[in-house]
């Protein structure tokens, strides 16, 4: 980790702003989907656990958006609550409806693994503010990953019914996960400068980790990975209603001064 | 090692209950803070972390299956002295004591270990060592499931909670103006008459 703050060029600043927004968008949307389990999770303890995880993910979004704001971006609340589905840049993986518990846990497992590996790599960023927030978020993510990896295993090796649901979730989610590894505009230059982690290297580690856990430990079958995925600006019909609900309070009280 | 149930009970479809013991800082006793339902030891620990180490500081968590714990109050021992004959393996037993009801969360503090020939024997020793308490709790050392002490676990399980400020509810902002501010400005409606007389 570096101690000094590297000066960014204008091009780098714009590229980093975009990447931070992309990272935050995934966190915000997955947090909302997990939050939908509040009061509905299979047992009280998991209700609490998933709400905690959702709060942590929102906290990470806050870190990214505050960093973006310091680089000249908009106010974090403005970014989260006043952009519509056309402007959100989250993956489709995180916006799909919450489904059953197996769907939620497999999605979170795929996402947590990606996030944990990306954050771990980002702690070595030459841009100190990013390295600092990555170090902070990475330790939480490690725990999230333990939680969801355990659930993936217990569900896959549970009853025939839980195994069927877990496999169905993986089959549906797997193609969408590839979208997490699409580079954003200008990301390559930031990676070359050591500011952002090498997304391809993270992808290789991710594939190795999730494949070993899901196939060897959980006995699940991985579907084929699609050759191509739509960009992050292409959404399913599920994002608009999600944002509508998530943003309803902010939009109803646009002049609210205290949150 | 609780009493065998002689009367019939409806089938319990819940996962077994685990008592959770949290250690706030090195050198402090582990305290019983509550319970979780979980399917296996690792699940119990993960769940305990989520439920009990969200904000407050902690350095170690233990989980013990509820059925491995023997508890008794002085009154229970008077009416049922047979509790002192509860069997169990010979070995080290943890002794917990509940000293006060003053707090809303009345913790059982683990006060140390004894060598005993079974749960009942451990309870008998607990009673001698701590005569003036509200309740005793004993369980064998062998049944404790505990968090790892490696830096990775400490860093991801316990460090994040430590840095988060524990806020009372009234510290959180609200949409618009805070209710206290509205009250002071005389903008809050008064209580309904029925509530006033209640």
Mean residue pLDDT across chain A: 94
Each residue's pLDDT tens digit, A10-61: 999 999 999 999 999 999 999 999 999 999 999 999 999 999 999 999 999 9
Q: Which residue matches tokens 């006033």?
A: B196
User: Taking CA atoms, what residue in B is nearest to A42?
Assistant: B14
pTM of the model: 0.87
Q: With contacts defined as CB-CB under 8 Å, which chain B residues touch A142? A: 152, 155-156
B179 near A CB under 8 A: no
Contact A85, A240 (CB under 8 A): yes
Nearest CA in chain B to A144: B156
The answer to whether the CB of B19 falls within 8 A of the CB of B69 is yes
Q: Does the pLDDT at position A249 exceed 50? A: yes
Burial of A236 (0-12, 13-18, 19+ CB in 10 A): middle
The per-residue pLDDT for range A184-215, each reduced to its tens digit, is 999 999 999 999 999 999 999 999 999 999 99
Q: Which residues does chain A have within 8 Å of residue B50's beta carbon, measured at their own beta carbons?
A: 45, 48-49, 52-53, 147
Instruction: Give the per-residue pLDDT at B154.
Output: 82
Nearest to B173 among A146, A154, A259 (CB): A259
ipTM score: 0.86
pLDDT given at position B163: 73
pLDDT reading at B102 higher than 80 = no
Of A36-40, B53-57, B81-85, B148-152, minimum mean pLDDT range: B53-57
Chain A positions in Cβ-Cβ contact with residue B158 (cut-off 8 Å) = none
B49/A143 CB distance under 8 A: yes
**Start-to-end C-alpha separation, chain A:** 34
pLDDT confidence of A6, banded at 50, 70, 90? low
Q: Which residue has the higher pLDDT, A244 or B50?
A: A244
Residue B188 forms contact with A (CB below 8 Å): no
CB contact B170 to A (< 8 Å) = no
pLDDT of residue A20: 98
Contact B36 A259 (CB under 8 A): no
CB within 8 Å: B36 and A139? no
CA angle A21, A25, A30 (to 5 degrees): 155
pLDDT at site A257? 67
């Amino acid at each position: 980790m570096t101690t000094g703050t590297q000066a960014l060029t204008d091009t780098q600043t714009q590229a980093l702003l975009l990447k931070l927004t992309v990272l935050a968008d995934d966190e915000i949307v997955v947090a909302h989907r997990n939050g939908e389990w509040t009061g509905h999770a299979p047992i009280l303890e998991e209700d609490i656990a998933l709400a905690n995880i959702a709060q942590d993910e929102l906290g990470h979004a806050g870190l990214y958006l505050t960093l973006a704001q310091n680089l000249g971006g908009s106010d974090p609340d403005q970014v989260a609550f006043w952009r519509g589905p056309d402007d959100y840049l989250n993956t489709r993986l995180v916006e799909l409806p919450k489904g059953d518990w197996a769907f939620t846990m497999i999605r979170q497992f795929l996402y947590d693994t990606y996030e944990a590996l990306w954050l771990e790599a980002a702690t070595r960023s030459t841009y100190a503010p990013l390295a600092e927030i990555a170090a902070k978020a990475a330790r939480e993510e490690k725990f999230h990953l333990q939680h969801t990896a355990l659930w993936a295993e217990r569900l896959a090796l549970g009853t025939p019914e839980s195994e069927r649901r877990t496999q169905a979730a993986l089959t549906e989610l797997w193609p969408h996960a590839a979208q997490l590894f699409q580079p954003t505009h200008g990301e390559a230059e930031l990676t070359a400068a050591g500011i952002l982690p090498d997304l391809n290297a993270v992808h290789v580690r991710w594939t190795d980790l999730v494949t070993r856990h899901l196939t060897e430990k959980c006995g699940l079958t991985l579907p084929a990975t699609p050759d191509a995925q739509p960009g992050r600006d292409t959404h399913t019909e599920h994002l608009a209603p999600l944002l509508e609900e998530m943003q309803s309070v902010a939009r109803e009280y646009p002049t609210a001064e205290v949150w | 090692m609780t009493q065998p149930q002689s009367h019939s009970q409806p089938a319990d479809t819940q996962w077994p209950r685990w008592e959770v013991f949290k250690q706030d800082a090195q050198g402090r006793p582990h305290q019983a803070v509550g319970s979780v339902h979980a399917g296996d030891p690792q699940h119990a620990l993960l769940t305990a972390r989520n439920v009990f180490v969200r904000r407050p500081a902690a350095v170690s968590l233990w989980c013990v299956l509820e059925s491995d714990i023997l508890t008794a109050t002085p009154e229970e021992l008077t009416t049922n002295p047979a509790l002192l004959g509860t069997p169990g393996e010979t070995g080290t037993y943890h002794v917990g004591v509940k000293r006060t009801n003053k707090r809303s969360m009345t913790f059982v503090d683990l006060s140390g270990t004894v060598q005993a020939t079974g749960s009942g024997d451990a309870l008998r020793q607990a009673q001698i060592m701590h005569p003036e308490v509200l309740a005793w709790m004993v369980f064998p050392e062998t049944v404790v499931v505990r968090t790892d002490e490696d830096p990775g676990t400490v860093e991801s399980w316990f460090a994040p909670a430590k840095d988060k400020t524990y806020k009372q509810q009234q510290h959180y902002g609200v949409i618009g103006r805070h209710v206290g501010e509205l009250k002071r400005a005389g903008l809050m409606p008064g209580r309904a008459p029925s509530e006033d007389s209640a």
